[in-house]
Amino acid sequence: MDQINPEHNSIGWIGTGIMGVPMCGHLIRAGYRVFVFNRTKEKAGELLNKGANWCDSPVEVARRSDVVFTIVGYPDDVREVYFGKEGVFAEPVSDRIFVDMTTTEPAIAGEIYEKALACDCFSLDAPVSGGDVGAVKGELSIMVGGDKEIFDLVKPLLGLFGKNIVYQGKAGCGQHAKMCNQITVAGVMIGICENLIYCKRAGLDFHTMLRSVGSGAASSWLLDNLGPRIMEGDYNPGFFVEHFIKDMEIALDESRRMGIDLPGLELVKSLYERASALGHGRLGTQALLLALEDFCGDEKRGYKEV
Amino acid sequence: MDQINPEHNSIGWIGTGIMGVPMCGHLIRAGYRVFVFNRTKEKAGELLNKGANWCDSPVEVARRSDVVFTIVGYPDDVREVYFGKEGVFAEPVSDRIFVDMTTTEPAIAGEIYEKALACDCFSLDAPVSGGDVGAVKGELSIMVGGDKEIFDLVKPLLGLFGKNIVYQGKAGCGQHAKMCNQITVAGVMIGICENLIYCKRAGLDFHTMLRSVGSGAASSWLLDNLGPRIMEGDYNPGFFVEHFIKDMEIALDESRRMGIDLPGLELVKSLYERASALGHGRLGTQALLLALEDFCGDEKRGYKEV
């Protein structure tokens, strides 16, 4: 492949969740012939209605597509999609490009890369940031690892999903960059939620406090965007607690493997696990506040009543 | 006083440190007659050269000024300035306004407020954010507690120091808002420094990582501003480690008093104490990275050699 275009190339899509559906929709809108697989077929319904072709397995997707995108849930799901009995590598293929957009272990990205190379294929790891809203708008941030030439070849397709598309280095580097993102988010989240707990107890008005704190050294995207939602008692997910826990686990596993300790991330993960144990796994990451209030033994849950 | 102007009013200034000198300079430039005291007279030299009048004690400043600003170091310094043997309240005064701009305990703000009221004076607590650069430029963020009418009266003076001047509520609320700021900063700082430790170990290029992480959900003022300084090995203080420790101690004491736990802040404070124990108390807050690397048992200090 010298270039990828709707006239000559078919695209495969594996994983039609909250992110996958709108992302794959952009490919269909761009005129590509798309082959879709998902563990739960019903979730692909919207895409099939728009003209996507159903496949019964990942390997069938790989057989019928030149470029295969995957965006599934957990590292084990990625392994199953690639190395499972009906995974994309279950039959001999060649001259394919695999792009895993799941946030997963950097080591898996390396395994996929090696396996792809061994059968004259290529792969990229390309996790995203920006949530379902970013996916719908085509405004995701995409962090890419793999061979630079393959990145250049696939970049126009990634451009259908995202705005900020950055080549981070060799296979796994996309995943590492995503870990940097999530490690930072963890710290910012505890800073924000502890602020809000203090703010409430001190009797300050949240919006007035935000006028001081939200524009200087303490300012952040998350304070601006999640702060007001927390104060309104809105815990609807932009990004699920349980998925964030998965990301933090990956980052901590990688850190240990690299011989470093991240005590802040350890603490934040333990608080998110507390949120999950309280039944908040499918709430948005702002539910860290509920875990902190539980930690404080505060009987009030959330800030709705303030 | 109905209004404050250089023709009719004299201003007192107590505390001529890294913040106080440029702030007081703005008052002199605006044409005010200024009376200055500092524990170490030499540090007031620049202001005296510009025309400020020296006083031998806080009480002398109070005697000769209509509005007295104080910005000193630690809570005990504030107590000494207000309630000490030669403190501003050591002699009967009336019709004065005291504005404490030190970041200090909300309870002290309340004590000053009560004492001021009892002698027909007024007080505001008005801690700032924005560092020495903000002080020089007159672009500080100022968080104010006290009576609203007094805030309105003093606001034009505060406007000489700051841009974002917000009335936060009754006496102590300025200090509480500052605590909200510092609690948030603590979380953001650990998120950033743990990111950078991971980034380095994973072999990512910092600036490339920042292109992905610095513009989305993980973005923050501190990542943009301190991240590059850390990577260049620049630990010069914008804000001293030892002063940040003081602020975190105040926030934690207040939190305990209010019956809440802030585990993130506890952790970050302990790491900054580690930085201080390593001899980094007079470095900038980005030296949290050095404490984390020590925590990791990493023999490399800082990122200069990357």
Find the helix or strand (DSSP H, E) in which A186 lies.
helix A173-201
Q: Which amino acid is at A292?
A: L
**Structure tokens that stand for A275 in this block:** 């949120």
Q: What angle do CA B245, B254, B141 make, to 5 degrees?
A: 65
The confidence band for A197, taking pLDDT boundaries of 50, 70 and 90, is very high
Q: Where are the domains of chain B?
A: 10-171, 177-296
Find the helix or strand (DSSP H, E) in which A285 lies.
none
**Contact state of A208 with B167 under an 8 Å Cβ cutoff:** yes
pLDDT score, position B306: 36
Strand partners, A70: A14, A100
Q: Which amino acid is at A152?
A: D
Architecture label for domain B177-296:
Orthogonal Bundle (1.10)
pLDDT score, position B1: 78
pLDDT tens digits for range B205-248: 999 999 999 988 999 999 999 999 999 999 999 899 999 999 99
pLDDT score, position A300: 54
**Contact state of B204 with A258 under an 8 Å Cβ cutoff:** no
pLDDT tens digits for range B102-150: 999 999 999 999 999 999 999 999 999 998 889 999 999 999 999 999 9
- What are the strands, taking DSSP E only, across chain B? 10-14, 33-37, 53-54, 67-70, 97-100, 122-125, 128-129, 140-146, 162-169
Residue where the block lists tokens 């209004």? B3
CB atoms within 10 A of CB B80: 16
Averaged pLDDT for residues B249-272: 97
Contact of B206 with A178, CB cutoff 8 Å: no
Statement: residue B304 has pLDDT above 70 = no
Provide the chain B residues 151-190 that lie in CB contact (below 8 A) with chain A.
164, 166-169, 173, 176-177, 179-190
Statement: residue B297 has pLDDT above 80 = no
Contact of B112 with B123, CB cutoff 8 Å: yes
Q: What angle do CA B15, B19, B22 make, to 5 degrees?
A: 100
Query: How far apart are the CA of B45 and the nearest CA of chain A, in angstroms?
Result: 30
Statement: residue A304 has pLDDT above 60 = no
Query: How far apart are the CA of B91 and the nearest CA of chain A, in angstroms?
Result: 33
Contact of B267 with B190, CB cutoff 8 Å: yes
pLDDT tens digits for range B105-118: 999 999 999 999 99
Find the helix or strand (DSSP H, E) in which B250 lies.
helix B241-258
Find the helix or strand (DSSP H, E) in which A125 lies.
strand A122-125
Spell out a b/e string for B131-160, using b for 16 or more CB atoms within 10 Å of the CB, else e.
Answer: bbebbbebebbbbbbbbeebbebbbebbeb
- The pairing of beta strand B122-125 with beta strand B97-100: parallel
pLDDT score, position B301: 45
User: What whole-number percentage of chain A has pLDDT above 90?
Assistant: 92
pLDDT score, position A151: 98
User: Hey, what CATH topology would domain A10-171 get?
Assistant: Rossmann fold (3.40.50)
DSSP state of A236: -
First to last CA, chain A: 59
pLDDT score, position A296: 86
ipTM greater than 0.90: yes
Contact of B165 with B129, CB cutoff 8 Å: no
Contacts of A204 in chain B (CB under 8 A): 168-169, 173, 176-177, 180
pLDDT tens digits for range A255-277: 999 999 999 999 999 999 999 99
**Structure tokens that stand for A109 in this block:** 């990205």
Nearest CA in chain B to A225: B217
Query: How far apart are the CA of A208 and the nearest CA of chain B, in angstroms?
Result: 6
**The CA-based dihedral angle spanning residues A266, A214, B172, B63, taken in that order and rounded to the nearest 10 degrees:** 130
What is d(CA A121, CA A79) in angstroms, rounded to the nearest whole number?
17
Statement: residue A298 has pLDDT above 70 = no
In this prediction the pTM is: 0.94
Provide the chain B residues 136-155 that lie in CB contact (below 8 A) with chain A.
141, 143
Strand partners, A14: A37, A70
Averaged pLDDT for residues A164-180: 98
Mean of pLDDT over chain B: 95
pLDDT score, position A2: 86
Which are the contacts of A298, defined by CB distance < 8 A and separation ≥ 6? A197, B260
**Structure tokens that stand for B131 in this block:** 């560092």
pLDDT tens digits for range B10-54: 999 999 999 999 999 999 999 999 999 999 999 999 999 999 999
Q: Is A300 a catalytic residue?
A: no
Nearest to B128 by CA among B170, B80, B160, B83: B160
Statement: residue B298 has pLDDT above 80 = no
DSSP state of B52: P
Longest dimension (CA), chain A: 66
What is d(CA B162, CA A220) in angstroms, rounded to the nearest whole number?
21
Averaged pLDDT for residues B254-274: 97
